[in-house]
Structure 1
Amino acid sequence: MIEIKPYIQKLFAQKELIISDKRQALFEEFIQNESNQQAVKTIIEQQNYLMDKWKLKNRIEDIIALQILIPNATESKEYNAKINFEKLGLNDLIFEEWQGLEEIGLQFDKETDTIKGIPNQSGELKFKLLFKVKGEDENSVPNEKYITLVVNPDPKTLWKNIPSDKEAIFWKEDDAKAFGKLGEKHIVVASNRGRSHENVGSFRDDDFAFKFIEKTGWSVVAVSDGAGSYPLSRKGSELACNAVVDYFENHLDKENFLEFENKLLEFSQTKEENLHKEIEIEAKQKLYKAVLFAHNQIKDLAEKTQQSNPELFNNPKAKSLSDYFHATLIFALFKKFDFGYVVLTFGVGDCPIAIMDKDQVNTSLLNTLDVGEFGGGTRFVTQGDIYQQDAKPLTMAQRFNMQIVTDFSYLFLMTDGIYDAKFVVEANLEKHEKWMEFLEDLNGKNEDNAKVNFNPENEQIADELAHWMDFWSAGNHDDRTLAIIF
C-alpha cells in the first residue's frame, strides 16, 4: 500500500518546500484530497514503469553482450553442442528462435537444447538468436543476438591432388582396384595413392597382383610397398608382385609340386608329425624360388634401366642398382583340398598377412614384420642381405609360413598405409578383437559410414573398398593397399 503522506513530505523536502507548524492542518487536508492521492499513485506508477523499462532494456543489452562460447566445429564432420541456458543465466527467456544455422548445415533441437548437424563450410560463421525476455510484450519485435561459431576446414580439403607425370619412366595409374574369383573364393583389392604423394604429384609406390592358376588349382595374391625414398620403387613393387604370379603360373616345376601335394594328402590322413615337418621345409623351398625369381627379375631390370637411363641412378644412399627399386613383398599361395585349405605365405618388410577362421572366433598373423628394435630399417625383397644365412632381424626360413585350415572367412594382405592407421602398433595384429574391430570398420562402423558389402554379386565392391580406404587418419597419409580374400 502506498503511504501518501511520507511520499509527499519527501517530495516537498527535495524541492525545499517547507511546511510550517501553522500549516500542518492545511497539509493534512491536502494529503486527504482524493485527486492529490491519485496524483501520487500515478507518479509512483510512472516511476515504477520507467524503472521496469530500464531494467528490461538493461537486461536485453546484458544478453546481447553475453559471451556465449560454443565448441569449434569441423567442416563435413558431425557436430553436436549443447546450449546450457541455466548455466548461462538465461532462464528468463520467453521466446527464442535461431536464424542462419540452416545455411551452414546445422539446426537447433529445442527438445535437447543442442546445435547439431554437419557444417558445410568453414570460417568464423555467425548466426542469430532472436529472443524475448520476461516482461516484454508478446507482440514486440524480438531482440537479436549474434553468436560466432568457428568451423575448422575439412583437413582433406587442404591437400592437393596433383596427377603423377604420365610421361615419366615406369608411370602407372595413381589408383588401382580389382575384383575377381580365386577358385571357390573371391578377392577384392584396392591400392590408393597416399595424400602425401597426391599433394606433390608423386607416384603410387604400392602395388598388387593376383591370379587363379587353373592348371594347378592354386591361387596367388601378392602385395608390395615401394620405398618412397628410392626413385624407381614404384616399378620395384609392380614387378615384385607380377613376378611372383608369373613364377607360379609359368615357371613352377609342376611334377615336383604335384609330389608336394601328394604329401599334403598323405598328411591329411596320417597326421604324422615328421611328415608335417618335411612338408613345411618343402613349402619354404618352393616359395623361396618365387622370392628369388622376383629378386632376380628386379635385378635384371635395374641393370637394363641403368644402361638406358644412367641419369636416374644418382642416389648416394644406394648400395646397388637394385636399391633404386626397393620394395617390400608379401604373398599368399593357397588351394582348397578335400581336407581343407593349405595357405602358404612369405613376407619381407612391414606389411601384415592375417587369416580369420570361418566362425570368426580366431585370427592368426601369418608373418613376422620387420619392425621392433629394427624399426626404421624395413627390409626389402631387393636387398641381397636378406638371403644370407645369418640375415637379421629374420632369417629367410623365418619369413615363410604354412597353415592347414578347414576353411576361412577372410584372408587379409595389406601395406603399412592400412596397418599404421587401423592397428597402430604391431602387437594389435596379434589380437583377434582388433581384427573384429577392423571388420566392423569395413562394415560401416566409421566416421564416414563407408561400407564394403562382401557379396560376390556386388558389382560395386571394388569401388566401395577404394572409397572406404579414403578414410582420414591424422598423420597417416601414405599409399594404402588392401587385398581381402573371402
Structure 2
Amino acid sequence: MSTSNEDQLVQEILLEIYKRLPDAQACSDAGIQTRLRSQTQDLIALARSAASCHARQNDIAEGECTEDNTEQPAQSAHGQTDQSDQAVTEARAGIQAEPGVADSSEHRQEQIRPSTVANASEEPAESLIPDRAAHPDNHQLKQAASSTPQDSGEHPPELSEPTIAPSDRNAAPERSATIDPHRKPGAIPTASLPSAEPALPRLIVTIAANANAGKPYQAAIEARTDSGHPVRILHCDIPTQSGVRYEDGALVGSTPEAGEYRIQVTGACEDIEYPLTASADLIVNHDPKTLWKDIPSDPCAPGWKLDERAFATSGAGGRRLIGASIRGRSHAHTGGFREDDFLLQASTDGRWNIIAVADGAGSASRSRIGSRIATEVAVQQAQAQLLSLGPAAIDEWRVSGDKEPTRALRVMFYQALGTAALEALKAIEEQARYHDADIREYATTLLLATHTHTEIGDLVGTFWVGDGAIALCDQAGGARLLGQPDSGAFSGQTRFLDRSAVDSGQEIMSRIHCAITPALDSLLLMTDGVSDPLFESDNELHSPARWRELQDQLMPLIQTDTATEKLVSWLKFWRKGHHDDRTIVVLY
C-alpha cells in the first residue's frame, strides 16, 4: 500500500470524526449522545491503527536500504505491505459499515464547504479536527492524528472493525421528553422550569400584652397562619414557674413571676389536615422596686450618718413632734450617703417647739455634713433668740388683741430666725476653712419653723431657703403654704444657704413668714424628696385640699405606738422617677 493511500485513509477517518462530533454535541437525547460518542471513539481507534501501520512500513523500508538485498527482507516487506493493504481495506469497510454514518454524513454534508472537502488531502490532518476547547475528546483526536509512535520492537495491533453490540444497534434509546425538531443547538429553552414545591403553612402566635411581676394579668392570645387564616388554639404549654396559665383564648395569672418564658402553642385550621405548632415568648416585666440595690454607706467616712433615722418626742403646749429621714434609692443603689437631716425639740422653757429640716446637695461631696451643721446650729440659735426676745414680744401682741402678727412679732422672728440662719452659714464656712475645702462642697437648703401656743391662738414663724415645703393645717379644714420654694430653670435646680440669702435685712425678711391660727391641727416640713412626688405642680403645692389629704394619710400612722417605724415605711412609697432622699417632720 502506498503512502498516499494511507494518508488518504487517515484523512477520511478524520473527516468522518469531524462530521459526527457536532451531532453528538447538539443532540439533547442522552442515549443518542452516548451512541455517537461510542462511534467516534471507534473511529479514533481506526485512525491510530492506520497511523501505526504507516509508521511500521516506513521502518521496514529504511531497513531494506541498509541491509543486503536478500530475498527474506523483501518478502517481509511485501508481507507487511499486503498486511497494511488489508488493514486499510478493512478500515474503509468499517467506516462504510458503521451504523448511522450515512445519515450523519448526509446531515452534515450541507454544512461543510466544498473547498474544505476538496482540499482535505492537501491540508494537514490537524486542520480537520475541531478546536480542543469545543469538546473534551478533541484533544485525543489531535494526538491520534499528529503523533508518530516510536519503534519499540512490538507489533502494532491489527486494524479491525469496531464492535457494536446488537442491542445497541437495534434498541431505541429512552427519551425523557420529545425532541423539538425546530430547536437549534445553543437555543434557550422556552419552557418554564418546574416550580418549587409550595411552602408549608406557618403558625403565627400573638400575645396582646406583657405581664408585670406580682400584678394580676390577663391578655388575649391569638393564632393564625402566615396567609391570614384563623387557627383554633388546642393547647398551650406554659412553664409552671411563670405563674401564668391558658384559659379560653387568654393568658391569665394572679401573681406572675418576673422572667421571659417560651410557650409552645398547638392549633388547628379548617383548611389544613394536620395540627400546626409554634412558639412564642411571654415576658413578665420585673417590678422596678426589686431592681434597686441597697448598699450600705461607709460608716468610716467623714460625716457619716445612719442611712435611716426616725425620732419622736413630746413638744411644748401638749404637742407631739415626729420626724423621719431615709436615704433615697438613687443613693442606696450606689452605696451613697443620706444627705438630708432634721432636728426637732422643745425649748428649755417649755414654750416653743423648734424644727429644722435640711437637704444637702447631691452633687456636693460634703453636703451631708453641711445639712447636719445647718440643722443643729439653726435650732440652737433660734432657741437662744426666742428665749431672749419671745416673752416681751408675745406679751405686747397679747395686750394689743390683734389677730394679725404685729410689728413686734415680726421683729422677734427676724431676729431669731435670721440670726439662726446666719449663724448656721458661719458654722459651715468655719468647717470648710478648717478642712481647707470649698464652701460649695457643704451646700444645703434650710427650712426652719417655730411654734408656740397662746390664749389668742397658735403662733408660727418660719424661715425658708431652697426647695421642699412648709405648710400649716388648721382644725377648721384650711391649709396654707408658709413660704415659697426656690426653684431653678430646670428640674432639680434650687438655691442653697449662702451669703446671698442672708446678706441684707430685706432678703432675710422675704424668707420669713408669720401665721396665727385659732386652732392648729398640724405643721409639716419636708424636703423635695417628699414634696416633689406628692405635689407635682405649683397648683397642687398651693392646694389646701392636697395638704389635707396628706395630713389625713399620715395621722393614722403617727398616732400609734410604732409611729416612727410606720413613718419610715411610709417614706418608701414608690413614684416613678423620684428616688431622692426623703425627710418629713410633723407637729400635731
TM, length-normalised to structure 1: 0.68
Say if 1:97 and 1:131, in contact at 8 Å, map to a contact too: no
Which residue in 1 is equivalent to 2:500?
385
Q: Are residue 453 (structure 1) and residue 556 (structure 2) matched?
A: yes
Say if 1:260 and 1:282, in contact at 8 Å, map to a contact too: yes
Q: Quick one: distance in 1 between partners of 2:246 and 2:320? A: 47
Q: Quick one: distance in 1 between partners of 2:468 and 2:297? A: 24
Deviation at 1:351, TM superposition (A): 1.6
Which residue in 1 is equivalent to 2:530?
418
- Report the AA paired with residue 470 of structure 1: K
Q: Quick one: distance in 1 between partners of 2:433 and 2:392? A: 37
Which residue in 1 is equivalent to 2:211?
73
Decide which of 223, 229, 232 is 2:357's aligned counterpart: 223
Q: Secondary structure at the match of 2:293?
A: coil
Q: Structure 1 residues 425 and 125 mapped into 2: Cα distance closer, same or farther (>3 Å)?
A: same
Which residue in 1 is equivalent to 2:391?
258
Q: Secondary structure at the match of 2:342?
A: strand
Q: Quick one: distance in 2 between partners of 1:293 and 1:212? A: 20
Q: Structure 1 residues 180 and 120 mapped into 2: Cα distance closer, same or farther (>3 Å)?
A: farther
Q: Structure 1 residues 85 and 331 mapped into 2: Cα distance closer, same or farther (>3 Å)?
A: same
Q: Structure 1 residues 133 and 462 mapped into 2: Cα distance closer, same or farther (>3 Å)?
A: farther
Say if 2:472 and 2:479, in contact at 8 Å, map to a contact too: yes
Query: Superposition pairs for residues 77-476 of structure 1, below 5 Å?
Result: 78-83=215-220, 100=239, 103-106=241-244, 115-122=252-259, 124-126=260-262, 148-183=281-316, 184-249=318-383, 251-252=384-385, 254-267=387-400, 269-271=401-403, 276-306=406-436, 313=437, 318=438, 322-360=439-477, 362-371=478-487, 378-381=494-497, 383-389=498-504, 395-439=507-551, 442=553, 453-456=556-559, 458-476=560-578
Deviation at 1:281, TM superposition (A): 3.2
Deviation at 1:208, TM superposition (A): 0.5
Deviation at 1:90, TM superposition (A): 8.6
Q: Structure 1 residues 153 and 270 mapped into 2: Cα distance closer, same or farther (>3 Å)?
A: closer
Question: Which gives a bigger RCO, structure 1 or 2 (Cα 8 Å, sep 6+)?
Answer: 1
Which residue in 2 is equivalent to 1:58?
none
* Greater displacement, 342-351 / 427-436: 427-436
Q: Quick one: distance in 1 between partners of 2:266 and 2:382? A: 73
Q: Quick one: distance in 1 between partners of 2:216 and 2:460? A: 46
Say if 2:414 and 2:512, in contact at 8 Å, map to a contact too: yes
Q: Secondary structure at the match of 1:281?
A: helix
How many residue pairs match? The answer is 381
Q: Quick one: distance in 2 between partners of 1:253 and 1:182? A: 16
Which residue in 2 is equivalent to 1:53?
none
Q: Quick one: distance in 2 between partners of 1:370 and 1:477? A: 20
Q: Quick one: distance in 1 between partners of 2:311 and 2:243? A: 36
Q: Quick one: distance in 2 between partners of 1:402 and 1:206? A: 25
Gaps of 5+ in 1: 1-60, 135-141, 307-312, 444-451
Gaps of 5+ in 2: 1-199
Q: Structure 1 residues 373 and 329 mapped into 2: Cα distance closer, same or farther (>3 Å)?
A: same
1:59-114 deviation line (CA, Å, top 9, x unaligned):
xx99x9351313122334x2333438899999978x9899656x43456788x967
1:35-66 deviation line (CA, Å, top 9, x unaligned):
xxxxxxxxxxxxxxxxxxxxxxxxxx99x935
Which residue in 2 is equivalent to 1:480?
582
Q: Secondary structure at the match of 1:257?
A: helix
Q: Secondary structure at the match of 1:67?
A: strand
1:423-442 deviation line (CA, Å, top 9, x unaligned):
123332111233345456x4
- Report the AA paired with residue 370 of structure 1: D
Q: Structure 1 residues 129 and 357 mapped into 2: Cα distance closer, same or farther (>3 Å)?
A: farther
Say if 1:357 and 1:409, in contact at 8 Å, map to a contact too: yes
Say if 1:209 and 1:242, in contact at 8 Å, map to a contact too: yes
Q: Structure 1 residues 455 and 207 mapped into 2: Cα distance closer, same or farther (>3 Å)?
A: closer
Q: Among all aligned residue pairs of Structure 1 and Structure 2, give the percentage whose two residues are the same amino acid.
A: 28
Q: Quick one: distance in 1 between partners of 2:469 and 2:229? A: 56
Deviation at 1:132, TM superposition (A): 10
Q: Structure 1 residues 65 and 253 mapped into 2: Cα distance closer, same or farther (>3 Å)?
A: closer
1:230-263 deviation line (CA, Å, top 9, x unaligned):
21110110111111222244x3363432101212
Q: Structure 1 residues 388 and 270 mapped into 2: Cα distance closer, same or farther (>3 Å)?
A: closer
Q: Quick one: distance in 2 between partners of 1:481 and 1:206? A: 7
Q: Structure 1 residues 193 and 455 mapped into 2: Cα distance closer, same or farther (>3 Å)?
A: closer
Q: Secondary structure at the match of 2:324?
A: strand
Deviation at 1:468, TM superposition (A): 2.0
Deviation at 1:154, TM superposition (A): 2.3
Q: Structure 1 residues 165 and 280 mapped into 2: Cα distance closer, same or farther (>3 Å)?
A: same
Q: Quick one: distance in 2 between partners of 1:374 and 1:390? A: 29
Which residue in 2 is equivalent to 1:41?
none
- Report the AA paired with residue 454 of structure 1: L
Deviation at 1:128, TM superposition (A): 7.0
Q: Quick one: distance in 2 between partners of 1:331 and 1:459? A: 27
Q: Structure 1 residues 432 and 155 mapped into 2: Cα distance closer, same or farther (>3 Å)?
A: same
Q: Structure 1 residues 218 and 247 mapped into 2: Cα distance closer, same or farther (>3 Å)?
A: same
Deviation at 1:217, TM superposition (A): 1.6
Q: Quick one: distance in 2 between partners of 1:247 and 1:431? A: 33
Deviation at 1:348, TM superposition (A): 0.4
Q: Quick one: distance in 2 between partners of 1:262 and 1:171? A: 43
Deviation at 1:336, TM superposition (A): 1.6
Deviation at 1:213, TM superposition (A): 2.0
Q: Structure 1 residues 84 and 70 mapped into 2: Cα distance closer, same or farther (>3 Å)?
A: closer
* Greater displacement, 125-134 / 336-345: 125-134
Q: Quick one: distance in 2 between partners of 1:345 and 1:242? A: 16
Say if 2:488 and 2:495, in contact at 8 Å, map to a contact too: no
Q: Secondary structure at the match of 1:483?
A: strand
